Amino acid sequence: MQPLSENRAWSAHLPAGAAAEPSDLLRDGTLSVRFTRQWGEHPTPHQLRDVDGSWIPSEELEQRSREVALRLLGAGLEPGDRFVLSGQTSADLVVAYLAALRAGLVVVPINPAYTPTEIARVVQGARPAAAAVDDDAVAAAVAEASQRPIQLFGPGVALPAGPEAPLDAASSADIALLVYTSGTTGLAKGAPLTHANLLSSATALNLAWRWDPDDRLLLTLPLFHLHGLGVGINGSLAAGAGIELRPKFDAADVAGRCAADGVTLFFGVPAMYQRLAESGALPALADLRLLVSGSAPLPASLALEIADGAGQVPLERYGMTETGMLTSNPYEGPRKPGTVGFPLPGVSLRLAESGEVEVRGPNVIAGYHERPDADAEAFSEDGWFRTGDLGELDEDGYLTLVGRSKDLIISGGYNVHPREVEEALESHPDVHEAAVIGRPSERWGEQVTAIVVVERPTDAERLREHAASRLAPYKVPKAIEFATDLPRNALGKLQRNQLR
């Protein structure tokens, strides 16, 4: 069970003759110090473009994030307090995020599509002191679930100006993000990502993908997810690069903006690339410097179709909420469709005897938030993080993910735990029991599929509507099948492998 060489990770991802040291990953110590240094050294009028098309220069972004940070501290928040952030993509949301980091707060992202039950699981685990949300229903759910007094603001944080106070004073070991993700138990688990975790991951991507101040990312990914926030926002600002925010993914919108001057990067999940291919929009991506795909497996056939239409194979990478980015196909050199490349700078990777991928590095969390039971499951005795993914290495050291040792479903880049969906379906009076699995899907990576046993005849659409009233849209089964019973072993345990 030998780890892949860390020297290989560095040399394979850097330009020929280039040198970098492990200390380079943590240069500046924290995200906010890195961001402010880049704003000062590489000022640009095109730092952040809001969804309305207006540009925020780097000097203004520094000023606005400073003012909001001082407002938050002036309202009585203290470094280390948890701060819920939920809303549709906007410059105000980004400014609130940056301000929270500069104030030393711990940002807790929440999907604005979450139901009150889902919101309560996060809020009761994180126990936030304040929240910035753009939806009254979300705000009400946060307030109701809170077990302590909580201050509620909009993303603009419309508070009186705060007095001068130290900013950008967090340490690299301080927590920057507390992101809740489903686990094998079905209970929400908080992954506390430190500044060091996030900064090392962003810097590794800057090095490996040649990300610099001349780049501009078209960002259509949601900002409550680590793909959009940790890779898109953190990676861009760590590199000093510009960002164009879009309210959502739309193939025609992406094609029009990529065909215009300025955009050099596009990051998406396979479902987005599938829509771009189906709409005939791939040629509009031909002038971009780099296309990246992640959050779900990219079918090799789709990768080749993109290469034919856009002129490059998307660079597929692999990461997790708990680890940030782990592996990547090379920027220079062969990009192998169906693989996720080799470890990024700073990352060590090994395969256990079972084939499970295990990793360690400055990007990996030290443990879950107040969940020693989850830590015991997630970490090996010698301290390696167990990803739950099964992998194979080819003769060149490229990693291919061949399955998961856990039941977690990844659909369209989002984590879906089967038990949560099963509970929603089983709350319907016509359902006796339900089992949820992921079936392979060209568009979604995995399609959430439910097999249900009913008490009396009913139709699938009625059950989908019932689930939709209790779950975020990406968790609602895309297919519902009916069965007379579910396969179980002698102890009554559901045999999901038979359903798959």
Q: What are the tens digits of pLDDT across the range 382-401? A: 999 999 888 889 999 999 98
Same domain, 231 and 331: yes
Same domain, 129 and 36: yes
CATH number at 438 reads 3.30.300.30
Domain count, the chain: 2
Would 1 be classed as within a structural domain? no
Buried b (16+ CB within 10 A) or exposed e, 208-222: bbbbebebbbbbbbb
Would 233 be classed as within a structural domain? yes
Predicted structure pTM score: 0.85
In whole angstroms, give the CA distance from residue 144 to residue 351: 44
- Is 60 exceeded by the pLDDT of residue 6? no
Q: What are the tens digits of pLDDT across the range 261-312? A: 799 999 999 889 999 999 999 999 999 999 999 987 888 889 999 999 999 9
CB count, 10 Å around CB of 38?
22
CB count, 10 Å around CB of 124?
12
pLDDT at 218: 98
Same domain, 297 and 429: no
Would 308 be classed as within a structural domain? yes
Same domain, 328 and 192: yes
Out of 436-440, 474-478, 482-486, 490-494, pick the least confident.
490-494
Domain end (from 403, 427, 449): 403
- Is 70 exceeded by the pLDDT of residue 4? no
pLDDT at 183: 42
Same domain, 377 and 418: no
Q: What are the tens digits of pLDDT across the range 423-470? A: 899 899 999 889 999 998 988 889 999 999 998 889 999 999 999 999
- Is 90 exceeded by the pLDDT of residue 184? no
Same domain, 413 and 398: no
CATH number at 136 reads 3.40.50.12780
pLDDT at 489: 58
pLDDT at 52: 96
Domain end (from 370, 403, 436): 403
- Is 60 exceeded by the pLDDT of residue 186? no
Same domain, 382 and 438: no
Domain that holds residue 258: 6-403
Would 217 be classed as within a structural domain? yes
Same domain, 375 and 291: yes
pLDDT at 140: 96
In whole angstroms, give the CA distance from residue 23 to residue 15: 18
Q: In the predicted model, what is the mean pLDDT of residues 334-352? A: 94
Domain end (from 352, 378, 403): 403
